[in-house]
Amino acid sequence: MSPQSSPPTRVTLRGISRRFNAVQALRPLDLGLSGGEIHALCGENGAGKSTLISILGGVIRPDSGSIEFNDTEVRFHSPADALAAGVAVIYQELNLVEPFTVAENLALGHEPRSGIRLDRRAIRSRARELLAELGFDIDPGAEVGSLSVGQRQQVEIARAIGRRARILILDEPTAALSRAEAERLFLLLRDLRARGLAILYVSHHLDEVFALADRITVLRDGSRVGTWPTRELTLPGVVAHMVGQAVDVRPAAPRSIAAEPSLRVLSASGGSFRDVTFDLHPGEVLGLTGLAGSGHEELAAVLFGARPLASGQFVWRGREFRPRHPRQARAAGLAYVPPDRRRQGLLPSRSITANLALASLETLSTLGWIRPGLRGKLASEWCRQFEVAASSPSQGVLTLSGGNQQKVLLARWAALGPSLFLLNEPTRGIDVKTREAIHRWIDDLAAAGCSVLLTSSDAQEIVRLASRCVVFRSGRIATELPRASLREQTLIEAMMADPVAPTRAHS
């Protein structure tokens, strides 16, 4: 299923620009991609990366400039045009048909037929072959809507590779993957590079960029700051180019953790997790992690009443707690930030104000009527506190960068002053500067005595923030690591260890 070896492709962008109303998303810039290389594109949220790859992917057209493939100018009027030319894009926001099976999604638009009928046997066989080649343990017959975020992203990757692309563009491809899954992807990308593909790799994870990329291009405020061979750069240097200054990344401050737990999870089972028991204390950031599909991703949603608890017990502030709807959890002082802000968190067609005030409508209403003045005041105040980069709170939420969308989601719950924050992948797809701002906010929550349950597939994030970490494997708690044992390598070993063998914390 992998692309066959072919002559290297050269892609040249000349003077590409794009404006959206008053926002100059891209200023005239040049960029070159070459077959047989991995070219990283770095920049903060809002730097112009998404606009650039949307132009290459045929989603939008540039206001000026040209795109050349092997010295021949091409024009894309649709994603189908780009795909026909050999450009495959895996966007940060996944683009799958959830009621369809994995096999049907992989074949979509290229379905084999037997006469006038779809050849479903061939569809399943090709899907099984492709998934096996990539090392993805996914049932081709499973509905995509039933998969975890990480598994859905694997399906996107498989579909792009299966289309035999000559130019592969990946936007935050490891955001939903475990470290083991990411390593498999890296091996695949290196193999595709050796076959002559031009690969544009967009990621906020600079350790990945330095491990993979041959060249790095940095964008800032819609302009190209520069392009360099990776060997000529350092990680702090790239960050400085991205933000125009050095970013002060500080370790978590020592925390004062209350002796009595605020939350007790006792033999809880639901979704794909089973017989889970742990305590969470005021002033503590408890990390939950594991490989994709290990069960840790679902626990926060069950605690918030978004999914049912099958058995076991939750005890919140000394009383049994079994929310059957998010409204009950919110009334009890819980807040939940889901892993997929576009699909699960935001109202995509509404303004910043509407999104930010959503959880506070009861306090902003009189006799069932929302008071616009109070709602506007709340939105303005929390946009200011979270430094949301927008012209005004009336701006559409989807016009914001991913990092600013996430700030709106966090501010929505912070405005309520909850006692327990359930944060599921809070910095997925976020740039370095915004990521550190969110990390400091989480530090402040713990310092103020809040309890924080942090679900993250990012080992660096767990090490940076967690007071201790619970590691899941196959739906159960495999081990618990105290703060003194939290190191990236230790976490990775704990996630990947043989489920039969006990995992011991490293001293």
Q: Tell me where in the chain the CATH 3.40.50.300 domain(s) lie.
A: 10-243, 260-333+419-425+449-502
Q: What is the pLDDT of residue 3?
A: 44
Give the model confidence (pLDDT) of 454-478 as tens digits.
Answer: 999 888 889 899 999 999 988 999 9
The span from the CA of 451 to the CA of 428, in Å, is 21
Q: What is the pLDDT of residue 176?
A: 66
Query: What single-letter DSSP state applies at residue 243?
Result: H
Give the model confidence (pLDDT) of 128-166 as tens digits.
Answer: 998 988 888 899 999 998 887 678 878 888 888 888 778
Give the model confidence (pLDDT) of 482-494 as tens digits.
Answer: 998 888 778 877 8
Q: Would you say the C-alpha torsion 145, 110, 171, 155 has a positive or negative sign?
A: positive
The span from the CA of 196 to the CA of 8, in Å, is 5
Domain at 260-333+419-425+449-502, CATH from 3.40.462.20, 3.40.190.10, 3.90.1300.10, 3.40.50.300: 3.40.50.300
Q: What is the pLDDT of residue 500?
A: 34
Q: What is the pLDDT of residue 100?
A: 92
Sequence-ordered list of residues with C-beta below 8 angstroms from that of 263, at least 6 positions apart, any chain = 279, 280, 303, 314, 315, 316, 420, 451, 453
Beta strand 451-455 with 285-290: parallel, antiparallel or unpaired? parallel
In the chain, which stretches have pLDDT less than 50?
1-5, 498-507
Query: What single-letter DSSP state applies at residue 351?
Result: B
Q: What is the pLDDT of residue 363?
A: 82
pTM over 0.85: no
CB 496 within 8 A of CB 474: no
Q: What is the pLDDT of residue 295?
A: 87
Q: What is the pLDDT of residue 4?
A: 44
From first CA to last CA, the distance across the chain in angstroms is 45
Quickly count: other Cβ atoms within 10 Å of residue 224's Cβ.
22
What are the DSSP calls for 254-267, one per residue?
Answer: P----SS-SEEEEE
The span from the CA of 93 to the CA of 346, in Å, is 13
Q: What is the pLDDT of residue 203?
A: 87
In terms of CATH architecture, what is 10-243? 3-Layer(aba) Sandwich (3.40)
> Tokens standing for 393?
């709170």
Beta strand 285-290 with 468-473: parallel, antiparallel or unpaired? parallel
Q: What is the pLDDT of residue 503?
A: 38
Nearest to 155 by CA among 139, 178, 175, 179: 139
